[in-house]
Structure 1
Amino acid sequence: MLLDFEQPIAALEGKLREMQQLALDSQVDVSEAVAALETKIKTLKKETYANLTRWQRVQLSRHPERPYTLDYIEGMTSKFVELHGDRTVADDKAMVGGFAELDGRTVMFIGQQKGRNTKQRQFRNFGMPNPEGYRKALRLMKLAEKFNKPIVTLIDTPGAFPGLEAEERGQGEAIARNLKEMFLLKVPVICVVIGEGASGGALGIGIGDRVLMLENTWYSVISPESCSSILWRSWDYKEQAAEALKLTAKDMMDARLVDSIVKEPLGGAHTAPQKIIDTLKKTLLKTLDELEALPAEERISQRIDKFAAMGVVLE
């Protein structure tokens, strides 16, 4: 799948393939031309991805070939045991979690899971959890706390499910309870935005000692399309809405709402999935070492202070 701004790069790559095929078919030496074109492609890629608009980063965050939560868990851990159900209503397939070994260390992984085809998307409810999903997540966090195991949450959702049934079962209460309980967890908590981080749906598993964002992800109270539909009564102004929302990883760092950015491969996480999985694994291991060196009471105090300071303006 090619995004609009990637078309010039794709055109040059097509010419490169034609040139390489010509060299094979006719035995003509075109090595200099190939080298020049490869350099041009590399330069264009660097310029393109270094100057992406906020809307273009939103598009990259939604790329259907980006690694999802289970891809990260399977790619960086071993012995993953998925745990199911909230012990009250149901097992929400949009929220997954369980214990796994991360380089010999047992960690509780929790995250939203999307689907890659129509059947999977329906099964996973497009990555939009119901209240039972957030209650399952909290149950797993409490289980990790009981056994003194760190928690890693992987955030990738267009929002909590907004259906009538979800509201009837207490969507707002379930998310609010998670916020309260996550502040007080005695074990290290790391939250990573790996794709879309929309509204309370993301925040419901987003309270941690460290909050990280991959380079081409977004985190905001509302999606650009929904913002556009409210302000302009149309989705046609989503690009302007994205600029106004300031929702990229860099924006979040500038506003001191997240702690660090995990750099993606050139072109986005989908271009080299295992590379970004390995990069995130190294980052998680380093961060866990830092957090586990702190007493639980100090971690909790720092966690509360960090979020309490957000949005505070001193004049």
Structure 2
Amino acid sequence: MEYLDFELPIKDLVEQLEKCTLIGKESDVDVSETCVNLQKKLDKTRVDIYKDLTAWQRVQLSRHPDRPYTMDYINAIAGDTFMELHGDRTVKDDKAMIGGLGKIGDQSFMFIGQQKGYNTKTRQYRNFGMPNPEGYRKALRLMKMAEKFGIPVVTLLDTPGAYPGLEAEERGQGEAIARNILEMTRLKVPIITVIIGEGASGGALGIGVGDKVYMMENTWYSVISPESCSSILWRSWEFKEQAADALKLTATDMKKQKLIDGIIKEPIGGAHYNRAEAFKSVENTILKAAKDLMRLTTEKLVEKRMDKYANMGVYKE
């Protein structure tokens, strides 16, 4: 388990507890009471640290190397029913954007999401979760396929942004994202979106237009990352914590601004501390949202979605 800077008190207590347990096993000394006290102290420290995290600490948790990624959620939720589909039928298959058909119970879904890597080799293979235009065109192809067969779409967002390379711009990165946003507003099947990690810029929004949009507790969703915002405003990354606060990018902030529909609670310490619980929470949220949305007629579904986004940013004095 890797620990972030603000989690170091937890690391120290975990190490003390492990040593205490080891002493008890390898000697005749009774350390049971000491171990119990250390466990109580560890539990209290965890609660104290995670109950009031700053925006920047939540950004750090969203990037935790042990945090589950899109394929982890899909494999846990859909299991062996998931069948990945490849290619945009124009350029190639973008490994940073994955998608395919799968079932939760008896209900079929089209799962789409950005996928990051677990080590240096797979991060390069997945392009660090930053899709090229062909990734967004693949996503749109799969959405259109889902529409054809009346299958709800589930998108899982976890990207530091769309790939900003020269080749991506030459192949129409901006147009691909804009096209997805346009087509998703009028797609004739339910769209359920869950931010499971980083939700950065148009890279996330390219598959983020949903009837229901949810954020996991320790994720962020913003037009720009705190580091990039800091470098633009202060010409330095040193002010990234101030930028994170100013951007109002946490799930709580987004819910207050009515830009998302709900927050999915995470286990204490983040989704990586109890993956099974995190997977179950996301699964239950998807099923509940799908049940509600599938009651609507196609016309009402599209109308409500368009009204939802048209009303964002509108206010009366």
Which TM-score band applies after superposition, normalised by the shorter structure? Answer: over 0.9
Counterpart of 2:223, as a letter, is V
Shift of 1:233: 0.9
**2:284 alignment partner, one of 282, 289, 292:** 282
Question: Counterparts of 1:166-185 in structure 2 under 5 Å?
Answer: 166-185=168-187
Count of residue pairs the alignment pairs up: 315
The corresponding residue for 1:66 is 67
Shift of 1:235: 1.0
Give the secondary structure class of the aligned counterpart of 2:245.
Answer: helix
* In 2: Cα distance, 1:98 partner to 1:237 partner: 40
* In 2: Cα distance, 1:116 partner to 1:71 partner: 11
Counterpart of 2:294, as a letter, is E
Question: Counterparts of 1:1-315 in structure 2 under 5 Å?
Answer: 1-77=2-78, 78-315=80-317
User: What TM-score do you get using the length of structure 2 for normalisation?
Assistant: 0.97
Shift of 1:26: 2.6
Shift of 1:80: 1.1
Counterpart of 1:8, as a letter, is P
Shift of 1:312: 1.1
* In 1: Cα distance, 2:126 partner to 2:13 partner: 37
Shift of 1:24: 2.0
Counterpart of 1:266, as a letter, is I
CA RMSD of aligned residues (A): 1.0
Give the secondary structure class of the aligned counterpart of 2:188.
Answer: coil
Counterpart of 2:65, as a letter, is P
Give the secondary structure class of the aligned counterpart of 2:66.
Answer: coil
Query: Is 21-30 or 73-82 further displaced after alignment?
Result: 21-30
Shift of 1:236: 1.2
Shift of 1:29: 2.6
* In 1: Cα distance, 2:281 partner to 2:206 partner: 25
Shift of 1:27: 2.5
Percent identity between the two aligned chains? 63
* In 2: Cα distance, 1:18 partner to 1:230 partner: 47
Counterpart of 1:157, as a letter, is T
Shift of 1:293: 1.1
Gapped regions of structure 1 (runs ≥ 5)? none
* In 2: Cα distance, 1:202 partner to 1:216 partner: 16
Shift of 1:30: 2.7
Counterpart of 1:222, as a letter, is I
* In 2: Cα distance, 1:43 partner to 1:254 partner: 29
Give the secondary structure class of the aligned counterpart of 1:43.
Answer: helix
* In 1: Cα distance, 2:233 partner to 2:148 partner: 46
Query: Is 144-153 or 162-171 further displaced after alignment?
Result: 162-171
* In 2: Cα distance, 1:309 partner to 1:46 partner: 38
Give the secondary structure class of the aligned counterpart of 1:154.
Answer: strand
* In 1: Cα distance, 2:208 partner to 2:18 partner: 44
Shift of 1:15: 1.2
Counterpart of 2:49, as a letter, is T
